[in-house]
Amino acid sequence: MKEEIIKKAADLFLNLGFKSVTMDDLANEMGISKKTIYFHFPNKAKLVQASTLFILNSIDEGIEKIKQKELNAIVEMVEIKNFVMHHLKDEKSSPQFQLQKYYPKVYKSVQSHHIDTMQCSINDNLEKGIKEGLYRENIPVDFIGKIYFLGMSTIKGSDLFPAEQFSIKEINEKYLEYHLRAIVTEKGLKTLKEFLPTDH
């Protein structure tokens, strides 16, 4: 039952937001008593933490499966971006931003795990792209990896990109293009343009 509660809570949090979903909402959605939920999770913060770890682990597993497909580095990045956006429901308000705002202690506790796994994934992609001749061989891998991760982590929660003007989908696509254009070779640019039908 504990795993079922975590899965359902994760789904509701992603769709409706961490702040909006109450323990009553979750109990009603699952057809169980609030007492059952509190038996496994003494408070909402504990449930938010368990659900967040579940979401991050699911994303990590999905990214690993994409990496095992042995796609070229640029296609791999596009697939990972699409997978993460689909997994996070293409939400209007970033779950990460909500977590940071309403549950800062939980955010801090899971952030180190997320940073480590995503940083490794990005760096792996950069090194792969260099070997394939798609990324410039002289790029500082660790620096570029950190800059890309930092940008992706902060841009969606920024007041500079209000939700009414910029969709999460648009922000993700433009930021990935910005990242790739900065590091691709001429060969890489040809591959990138296959994903930019309106590019001239």
pLDDT at 32: 96
What percent of the chain shows pLDDT beyond 90?
Answer: 59
| Burial class, 175, CB count within 10 angstroms (exposed 0-12 / middle 13-18 / buried 19+) | middle
What 3-state class would DSSP assign to 184? Answer: strand
pLDDT at 200: 45
pLDDT at 199: 45
| pLDDT tens profile 172-190 | 889 999 999 999 999 999 9
Q: How confident is the model at residue 56 (pLDDT cuts 50, 70, 90)?
A: confident
pTM (2 d.p.)? 0.83
Q: How open is the CA angle 78-148-198, to the nearest 5 degrees?
A: 40
What 3-state class would DSSP assign to 63? Answer: helix
| pLDDT tens profile 146-157 | 999 888 877 766
| pLDDT tens profile 1-49 | 999 999 999 999 988 888 889 999 999 999 999 999 999 999 999 999 9
pLDDT at position 88 over 80: no
| pLDDT tens profile 157-166 | 667 887 778 8
Domains of the chain: 49-193 (1.10.357.10)
